Amino acid sequence: MTDTAAHTVPATPSVLFVCVHNAGRSQMAAGWLRHLSGGAVEVRSAGSMPADQINPAAVEAMLEEGVDIRAERPKVLTTEAVEASDVVVTMGCGDACPFYPGKRYEDWKLEDPAGQGVDAVRPIRDEIRARVLTLLAELGVRPVDA
């Protein structure tokens, strides 16, 4: 690979998903991206005010699809995580999300699964999956299990 090619398309693109608590939407999105990319994308997630644990309804909804996010823990958003990511996807973190020139930003407007049961979380999970598939296509990564 030439030096020029290395700068145009990262060999392994990296995506950071950010929401306030890093307990529901961003964790489901990270789980989907890890699962569907088969490791071809570096995945991070964080929150501006991380919760103590992942939303149990989000965990249950993802397990129904064969994606296990039980081992994940909410993490605090750092400038290093943003700087190390090619794409930053925000999900309702408002002004708490740092902005860096030269980064690709997307804001996914999604219902917040906090405090909701698994029946309410399933449509959010499914919408996130569809958006992750679109993101993979934009990154030029073929999904392994669509």
Catalytic entry in 15, 16, 18, 19: 19
| Catalytic status, residue 16 | no
Q: Using CA atoms, how far apart are residues 5 and 113, in angstroms rounded to an integer?
A: 40
- Exactly one of 93, 124, 132, 136 is catalytic; name it: 93
- Name the nearest CA neighbour of 125 among 52, 48, 45, 30: 30
| 97 is a catalytic site residue | yes
Report the C-alpha gap between 41 and 132 in whole angstroms: 11
Q: Which one of 29, 57, 61, 97 is the catalytic residue?
A: 97
Q: Which residue has the tokens 């690979």?
A: 1
**Within 10 A of 146 (CB to CB), how many other CB atoms are there?**
9
The verdict on whether 90 is a catalytic residue reads: no
Q: Which residues are catalytic?
A: 19, 93, 97
